[in-house]
Amino acid sequence: MLEDASIRDLTALMTAARAAYDVISVSSAAQRHEALMEIASALRKHEAEILEANKLDLAHAEGNAAFLDRLTLTSQRLQDMAEAVERIAALPDPVGKVMQEWTRPNGLVIRQVSTPIGVIGMIFESRPNVGVDAAALCIKSGNAIILRGGSESFHSTQSLMRAVQQGLRHAGLPGATVQSVPDTDRARVTEMLHAQGQIDLLIPRGGKSLVTRVMQESRVPVLAHAEGLCHSFVHQDARLEMARAVTANAKMRRPGICGATETLLLDRAIAPTFLPVLVTDLHALGCHCRGDAAARAILPTLDPASESDFATEWLDAELSIAIVDGVEGACAHIRRYGSGHTEAIITENEAAAESFMRGVPSAVVMWNASTQFCDGGEFGFGGEIGISTGRLHARGPVGVAQLTTYRYEVRGDGQTRP
Amino acid sequence: MLEDASIRDLTALMTAARAAYDVISVSSAAQRHEALMEIASALRKHEAEILEANKLDLAHAEGNAAFLDRLTLTSQRLQDMAEAVERIAALPDPVGKVMQEWTRPNGLVIRQVSTPIGVIGMIFESRPNVGVDAAALCIKSGNAIILRGGSESFHSTQSLMRAVQQGLRHAGLPGATVQSVPDTDRARVTEMLHAQGQIDLLIPRGGKSLVTRVMQESRVPVLAHAEGLCHSFVHQDARLEMARAVTANAKMRRPGICGATETLLLDRAIAPTFLPVLVTDLHALGCHCRGDAAARAILPTLDPASESDFATEWLDAELSIAIVDGVEGACAHIRRYGSGHTEAIITENEAAAESFMRGVPSAVVMWNASTQFCDGGEFGFGGEIGISTGRLHARGPVGVAQLTTYRYEVRGDGQTRP
């Protein structure tokens, strides 16, 4: 039976998180590695108890089959979670890395050294494994984390976090490094948004309304994306076969992820020949397409795409199509409608690709690749706690390196400033 | 006569700033260099007009001699400003730097490339040269900036910014890259704090009350320090002569800067011999010292230091002194009272120094050097727009490199995600 060490009062819980941060932030890489291996082992060992807690959630759950499936834990899914924790354990240590070092004329040696951020707050409404992944990434990077999962997965998350805390304690680290908010009261979310100085960074993950609310109301810095309104632009110098493969993948591999393409931009010069082929492909994959007036002039059977369609993150087998004039037209469209997430250009023309990549203000820009590659795993980060469309600190996939900040260490031999 | 191209409405001004950012963010390093050289030249050429505007401010100014001195522009001070702009022009280009590059097993090449942040807002109540420095640093790093200076320097700032805008236009860049809020209405500050999506980053510079207000009320991310409550810790293995020189410099070189030491921490083991010497030195320099009970047991003539004294940023010839137990005691004191700015340890003991530097959560940690070295110029940044005590994006001195963010460029040859 896993010990329930949870603190009932959020203020006390945040104080405990800070004290735990003071310990884990100066712990050795070996100790953090050991904690993660112990956590993987606890997740496996306490499978019966965790699945029991999950049954409690499922008993009260209401929703469609997809929702219930996301909520359901199985022996296999616990195994997958444990393996994900082990993969994070195997990553190189992101803490204490000398990022830059230089010597000043007066002999002072200045080092920029990576260091954990502090106490992270995470508000999520996704599957229970998101909490375990986030906990593992924070432990690896020497941070403490406070999790506030959806009320529908409350018992599952509490149970998983008891296993995580056991793993931490077995490695000699404070259990309070990872804590879950001890009730489902929505007031806790508001308290977290106003916890300046107690929580150093908030990471919301979930639907647009949750993330937008956090972004608008939070007094604590936020890393997140409210939307992934990604574009794929097929330039006039694209090869048709590559455009077909990349476009189909960018939209339809998994239409519901934030890196899925929502709008296809087609260069006017090749639209008459490319559009019918691309739309036929997409129709064959079950994707519904809408086009602007220029697209419908080429393909009159297309449904019309309205102004608001181009501002819509479909997250579904739906695609908006606009005909644009070259790189400049594509960049202008993206500046107007994009959400700063991921944009791709398909072209054989290097100058056009470079100009596109510099011309859009998004976190991730791609040349001849599917926008669905915007993912911490695909970037080689070994996992991600989220994706940021903000301009500061971290952009794109947020992995363990992005969960660190830095300090300057200045070494002298008694220098005084003239 | 310099052209007055200022926009009277703040919303229109922010729209113009965004449009200017779209241009300067993709401009060449040569063009930004040229703009800065043109600005230096305009500052010199329009000296008479700028000094005239300054006289308008001085005619209405009320304050002590130090305040009036800070506000006063002279031919020499304009010359210094122009030279500062030229020094910033000479810095290496911070934009478009490949920070990291790696290749994934599927052949995707991922590059992390530095890129300008966007529209910076700066609210300051310091000397007029602060606005010119900030403008030059933002131009160098490809950002647009909106300045809101103190009402006491309104005409000076407006005139200086007309010279800056002329320099930009002469180099073919939009004048609106640098704009000054066109009136002294305090409501503009509130508007800037709520300009989410229009201003990407706010940098307040001034007194604690201004900066604290911005930090608490802003909906826009903030880089700043509200206080520099810096500590110097003299460890038991310090050399007395070095401790004397560094302590005196850290406190008294310029007591009013944010990197000045406000509290001296003395290791209990050496306090009986070191304390009288250090205090005698400081008294000779005109510094008033207060001590905790342990310090007063050694030196009964010391005034008592209260709990609130240790939480006070003196910015003056005043020093609080506490006796602590080794590195651990020093770190505990700093965690309790520090503002996350700069802390130093004086010791010949490397293990103690390393443990101290890891044990305090501040942006800058120093070993055997004066805390007054926390400065963009002293770090070799060629200037600074401010100093940050936050945990995210940039910490310590904020120079041109810290005024950039990054994007990921992903280059493929048609990869699709499996």
pLDDT in tens, B19-44: 999 999 999 999 999 999 999 999 99
Q: How confident is the model at residue B1 (pLDDT cuts 50, 70, 90)?
A: confident
Q: Do B378 and A245 touch (CB under 8 A)?
A: no
B165 Cβ neighbours under 8 A, 6+ residues apart:
B3, B5, B175, B176, B177, B178, B179
Query: How many A/B residue pairs have CB atoms within 8 Å?
Result: 189
pLDDT at B194 over 80: yes
- Partner residue facing B370 (CB), from A359, A361, A417: A417
Identify which of A22, A253, A410 has the shortest CB distance to residue B373: A410
Q: Do A249 and B366 touch (CB under 8 A)?
A: no
How large is the average pLDDT for residues B403-416? 97
Query: Cβ separation of A373 and B249 shorter than 8 Å?
Result: no
Q: Find, in chain A, the residue whose alpha carbon is nearest to that of B388.
A: A407
Instruction: Give the CATH H-level superfamily of domain B10-224+394-410.
Output: Aldehyde Dehydrogenase; Chain A, domain 1 (3.40.605.10)
Q: Count of CB atoms within 10 A of residue A308's CB? A: 8
The residue to which tokens 């310990």 are assigned: A23
pLDDT value of position B342: 98
CB contact under 8 A, A378 and B201: no
**Of the candidates B253, B379, B412, which has its C-beta nearest A110's C-beta?**
B379
A369 to B216: CB separation less than 8 angstroms, yes or no: no
Contact B368 A104 (CB under 8 A): no
pLDDT for the residue numbered B334: 97
Cross-chain Cβ contact A410/B364 below 8 Å = yes
Domain A10-224+398-410 has CATH 3.10.580.10: no
Residue A365 with chain B: CB contacts under 8 Å: 407-410
Written as one letter, the residue type at B115 is T
Interface touch A395/B406, C-beta < 8 Å: yes
List helix spans (H) across B253-325.
271-284, 293-298, 307-310
Residue B64 has pLDDT above 80, yes or no: yes
| B228 pLDDT above the threshold of 80 | yes
Token couple for A141 = 């990077």
CB atoms within 10 A of CB A3: 10
Helices and strands counted in chain B (H then E): 15, 16
Mutate to test the interface with A, among B25, B104, B328, B417 (most CBs of A within 10 A): B417
CB–CB contact B416 A368 (8 Å): no
Q: Which of A361, A380, A409 minimises the CB distance to B102?
A: A380
Q: What is the mean pLDDT of residues B226-240?
A: 97
- Say yes or no for a CB contact (<8 Å) between A26 and B359: yes
Pick from A246, A335, A406: CB nearest B395: A406
Q: What is the predicted ipTM?
A: 0.94
Give the residue from B215, B224, B200, B206 showing the smallest Cα distance to B143: B200
Flag residues of chain A having pLDDT under 70: 126
Q: Closest approach of chain B CAs to the CA of A128, in angstroms?
A: 24
Q: What's residue A296's pLDDT?
A: 98
pLDDT of residue A4: 80
Reported confidence tier of residue B240, pLDDT bands at 50, 70, 90: very high
Identify the pLDDT of residue A182: 86
Q: Into which CATH architecture does domain A230-378 fall?
A: 3-Layer(aba) Sandwich (3.40)
H or E segment at B94? none
Chain A residue numbers touching B411 (CB-CB < 8 A) = 353, 366-369
Give residue-wise pLDDT tens across range B129-177: 899 999 999 999 999 999 999 989 999 999 999 999 999 999 999 999 9
- Across the interface, whether the CB atoms of A416 and B358 are under 8 A apart is answered no
Question: Which tokens belong to B86?
Answer: 């030229």
Distance of residue B72 Cα from the nearest chain A Cα, in angstroms: 25
Distance from CA of B285 to the nearest CA of A (A): 15
CA of B364 to nearest chain A CA: how many angstroms apart? Answer: 5
Q: What is the 3-state secondary structure (H, E, C) of chain A?
A: CCCCCCCCCHHHHHHHHHHHHHHHCCCCHHHHHHHHHHHHHHHHHCHHHHHHHHHHHHHHCCCCHHHHHHHCCCHHHHHHHHHHHHHHHCCCCCCCCEEEEEECCCCCEEEEEEEECCEEEEEECCCCHHHHHHHHHHHHCCCEEEEECCHHHHHHHHHHHHHHHHHHHHCCCCHHHEEECCCCCCHHHHHHHCCECCECEEEEECCHHHHHHHHHHCCCCECCCCCCCEEEEECCCCCHHHHHHHHHHHHHCCCCCCCCEEEEEEEHHHHHHHHHHHHHHHHHCCCEEEECHHHHHHCCCCEECCHHHHCCCCCCCEEEEEEECHHHHHHHHHHHHCCCCEEEEECCCHHHHHHHHHHCCCCEEEEEECHHHCCCCCCCCCCCCEEECCCCCCCEEECCHHHEEEEEEEEEEEECCC
Contact: A365, B219; criterion CB under 8 Å: no
Split at pLDDT 50, 70, 90, the class of B309 is very high
pLDDT of residue B125: 85
Give the Cα separation of B268 and B233 in Å (integer): 11
Residues from chain A contacting residue B249 (CB–CB below 8 Å): 416-417
Would you place residue B186 in the very low, low, confident or very high pLDDT band (cuts 50, 70, 90)? confident
Per CB-CB distance under 8 Å, the chain B contacts of A248 are 416
Residue of B nearest to A364 (CA): B408
The residue ranges of every structural domain in chain B are 10-224+394-410, 230-378
pLDDT digits (tens, 9 = 90+) for A180-229: 998 888 889 999 999 998 999 999 998 899 999 999 899 999 999 989 99
d(C-alpha B399, C-alpha B410), whole Å: 28
Task: Using the CB atoms, write b or e for B8-18: b if 16+ within 10 Å.
Answer: eebeebbebbb
d(CA A257, CA B262): 52
Choose the closest CB to B365 out of A373, A405, A409.
A409
Per-residue pLDDT tens digits for B98-113: 999 999 999 999 999 9
Q: From the list B118, B362, B410, which residue is nearest A407 (CB)?
A: B362
